Amino acid sequence: MVHAQFDPTAREALANAAVEAKIRKDLTWEQIADAAGLSVAFTTAAVLGQHALPEASAKAVAELLGLDEDAVMLLQTIPTRGSIPGGIPTDPTIYRFYEMLQVYGTTLKALVHEQFGDGIISAINFKLDVKKVADPEGGERAVITLDGKYLPTKPF
């Protein structure tokens, strides 16, 4: 049976324990995702408390991280999503994404609506990818792909 969480504190505590185990075992998110058999973005989000894992993936992740049966059960629950409590985020990396949406949010909205019409881009039927690429001018660039299904607004 599928169960939902309504108090994020249990998933937050599990995320803290999982990250601690990840560090202690010197694992990468990619290694954890490989064990789960899922994408690195989805697995990372799940371990950090934003998605439920399928049973086999939850068992594999818990085994790799040395977590108990309660963790296996909790990793399968539907979480209360949203990992940025209140107001403007203060972590510099998260803040820059907030800043990007502040600067380009209305542009993205205008372009999406011009090309697709009235509707939204799903964060449920969604794929995320992060790649590091060389910058021709020196250094490195981050290429972040957000790939969500378009859902049109339906009058009723």
pLDDT in tens, 102-115: 989 989 998 999 99
**pLDDT at res. 86:** 79
Asked if 14 and 74 touch (Cβ cutoff 8 Å), the reply is yes
Per the residue annotation, which of 20, 24, 99, 141 is the catalytic one? 99
- 122 catalytically annotated: yes
Query: How confident is the model over 118-137, as a mean pLDDT?
Result: 95
- 55 catalytically annotated: no
Per the residue annotation, which of 20, 24, 30, 96 is the catalytic one? 96
Higher-scoring residue by pLDDT: 17, 7? 17
Q: Nearest to residue 154, comparing CAs of 126, 127, 118, 121?
A: 118
% of the chain beyond a pLDDT of 70? 100
Round the average pLDDT of the chain to a whole number and report it.
Answer: 94
User: Which one-letter amino acid corresponds to residue 134?
Assistant: A
Confidence grade of residue 31 (pLDDT, cut at 50, 70, 90): very high
Tokens of 147: 């790939």
Count of alpha carbons within 13 angstroms of residue 43, beta-carbon side: 24
Tokens of 9: 């504190």
User: Which one-letter amino acid corresponds to residue 23?
Assistant: I
- pTM, two decimals, is 0.84
Confidence grade of residue 82 (pLDDT, cut at 50, 70, 90): confident
Per the residue annotation, which of 20, 24, 55, 122 is the catalytic one? 122
The alpha carbon of residue 97 and the mean position of all alpha carbons in its chain are separated, in whole angstroms, by 14
